[in-house]
Amino acid sequence: MNIHKQMENLLDEDYKETMKIKATNPYSGESAMLTPEEHKLYIEIKEAEFNEDYKTVQQGLSKFSRMNAAAYMTLLD
């Protein structure tokens, strides 16, 4: 089991729901606070972009924009 999964297991559900992670747009320098679920998706989108997997990028962008429109505009638009 990796360290991330071990830490996740230690956190109770209430804490996970209120925990926020700061993500920064590498081009504009603007930041947004994301839930763990949003942050995971943001990382998946950026990795797919790096790997030139544009189908995954588009699917991720579509989902992210519905999850958190303000953060989408700040980080990914």
What ranges do the domains of the chain cover? 3-75
Classify residue 74 by burial, with Cβ atoms within 10 Å: 0-12, 13-18, 19+. middle
pLDDT tens for 2-23 read 666 666 666 665 565 678 999 9
Residue 18's pLDDT is what?
Answer: 76
Classify residue 53 by burial, with Cβ atoms within 10 Å: 0-12, 13-18, 19+. middle
Residue 19's pLDDT is what?
Answer: 87
Determine the average pLDDT of the residues in 48-73.
Answer: 98
Residue 53's pLDDT is what?
Answer: 98
Residue 28's pLDDT is what?
Answer: 96
Residue 56 confidence (pLDDT) above 60 = yes
